[in-house]
């Protein structure tokens, strides 16, 4: 009898309860910044950008708290990535993010992003939050989403 093949863990399993309908305050939370080319908001080199950023983090001996990576869709053609780190990373574009943020977790295919966005707007409005900046957190790669049977996406909005 053949032994079942265990897939290596690429992305850790995501715990939605820790991020769903939460208010988070960051004070100069450390990130490194990367960029992705997109076509009509669809990323073209996301994997390559993540591998490059992960290599810099590994070389620096840094950790990625919560495996948090924010995506900022700056246009139909570009997306900035913000990978959380626990220290400065040599060779990377180090930055920080501060403020009060509202987060909400969604699950399903990416084609539901429009529905999620409308729901997020309504949830923020009900809480009387004015969202000034949006980020998307794609919590796992497509292979790990398939492995875990869930495709969680977190919308994180900076509030006023």
Could you tell me if residue 5 is inside a domain?
Answer: no
Could you tell me if residue 142 is inside a domain?
Answer: yes
Could you tell me if residue 6 is inside a domain?
Answer: no
Q: Tell me if residue 81 falls in helix, strand or coil.
A: strand
Q: Round to whole Å and give the CA distance between 142 and 61.
A: 26
Portion of the chain with pLDDT greater than 90, in percent? 82
What total of structural domains would you count in the chain? Answer: 1
Q: What is the pTM of this model?
A: 0.90
CATH number at residue 125: 3.20.80.10
Q: Round to whole Å and give the CA distance between 48 and 31.
A: 18
Q: Round to whole Å and give the CA distance between 115 and 97.
A: 27
Helix, strand, coil in percent for the chain, rounding step 5: 30, 40, 30
Backbone angles phi, psi at 115, to 5 degrees: -65, -45
Could you tell me if residue 84 is inside a domain?
Answer: yes
Could you tell me if residue 9 is inside a domain?
Answer: no
> Quick check: 138 and 153 in contact, CB under 8 A?
yes
> What are 56's two structure tokens?
């810099």
Q: Round to whole Å and give the CA distance between 79 and 45.
A: 10
Q: Round to whole Å and give the CA distance between 32 and 94.
A: 5
Range of the domain at 42: 18-159
Q: Which of 48, 102, 51, 60 is nearest to 85 (CA)?
A: 60
Q: Tell me if residue 78 falls in helix, strand or coil.
A: strand
Reply yes or no on whether the pLDDT at 87 is more than 50: yes
Could you tell me if residue 12 is inside a domain?
Answer: no
Give 107-124 as a DSSP string. ES-GGGHHHHHHHHHHHH
Q: Round to whole Å and give the CA distance between 156 and 24.
A: 9
pLDDT digits (tens, 9 = 90+) for 50-72: 999 999 999 999 999 999 999 99
Could you tell me if residue 116 is inside a domain?
Answer: yes
pLDDT digits (tens, 9 = 90+) for 112-149: 999 999 999 999 999 999 999 999 999 998 889 999 99
């Amino acid at each position: 009898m053949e032994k079942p093949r265990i897939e290596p863990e690429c992305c850790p399993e995501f715990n939605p309860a820790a991020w769903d309908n939460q208010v988070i305050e960051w004070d100069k939370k450390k990130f490194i910044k990367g960029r992705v080319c997109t076509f009509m908001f669809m990323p073209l080199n996301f994997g390559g950008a993540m591998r490059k950023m992960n290599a810099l983090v590994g070389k620096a001996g840094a950790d990625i708290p919560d495996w948090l990576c924010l995506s900022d869709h700056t246009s139909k053609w570009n997306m900035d990535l913000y990978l959380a780190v626990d220290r400065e990373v040599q060779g990377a574009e180090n930055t920080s993010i501060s403020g009060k943020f509202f987060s909400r977790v969604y699950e399903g295919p990416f084609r539901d992003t429009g529905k999620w966005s409308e729901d997020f707007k309504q949830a923020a409005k009900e809480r009387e939050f004015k969202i000034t900046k949006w980020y998307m957190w794609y919590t796992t790669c497509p292979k790990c989403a398939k492995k875990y049977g869930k495709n969680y996406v977190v919308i994180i909005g900076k509030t006023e």
